[in-house]
Amino acid sequence: MAGDFKLDTAVPWGRNRAEYTAFFDLAGVPPHRRILDCAGGPSSFTVEASRLGHLVVAADPLYGLSKDDIKARIEESREAIAAGLRSAGHRFVWDAYGTPENLEATRFSAMKHFLEDYEEGLAEGRYLEAALPDLPFEDEAFDLALSSHFLFLYSAQFDLDFHLASVLELCRVAPEVRIFPLLDMEGERSRHLPPVIDHLQGRGLATEIRKVDYEFQKGGNEMLLIRPV
């Protein structure tokens, strides 16, 4: 989204379970898995997946804020994102959403669902204030760790050392890690991806770039899958 769509830092913007299923190829994941959604933001995946029997925890520094403060942060981000989508619409594949208005409606439906669950979810431990690269979990506390629209996407804002430390931390807390997308905010394959993969393979981990059934950023239809060899 070069020159047209620039964000100085990560913004709160929610996705739903159906989108996560497509991002991360989750259709074959059995129920009752322990799942971490890291940098989950105001997505509804955690509440939706929890109600289907998965044991899901979302971690994000956003969860240190009150419900009203999160609502305010979402509204602050809304116009910048909408303006970027309008000016850089040619950089996206609109098949799934049709129009920017439909996309925004999908996003706000997910965020509404999250906000409705937020206070109860905090009390029940579904949402935990935490930030990469230091997570407050035991080794292999989860079966699967997911990270959507944070690592690699914000490559200009977060350097290679941050990416390496963050991915290794996800690998510490779960034996399987999935990260989507692999493009940066310019719509290009993240420059951090090759050295991250090299480092992981050097540590004896298996990596796979897997094509998924989702593409909104043009070319953004791949995730990184990391497992033990």
Question: Domain segments of the chain: what residues?
Answer: 33-190
Contacts of 167 (CB under 8 A, 6+ apart): 151, 177, 179, 196, 200, 226
* Cα–Cα dist 87/228, whole Å: 42
How would you write the pLDDT of the chain (229 residues) with one tens digit per residue?
Answer: 344 555 566 788 899 999 999 999 999 888 889 999 999 999 999 999 999 889 999 999 999 999 999 999 999 888 888 887 877 888 999 999 998 889 999 999 999 999 999 999 999 999 999 999 999 999 999 999 999 999 999 999 999 999 999 999 999 999 999 999 999 999 999 999 999 999 999 999 999 999 999 999 999 999 999 999 9
Which CATH architecture does the domain made up of 33-190 adopt? 3-Layer(aba) Sandwich (3.40)
- pTM of the shown model: 0.93
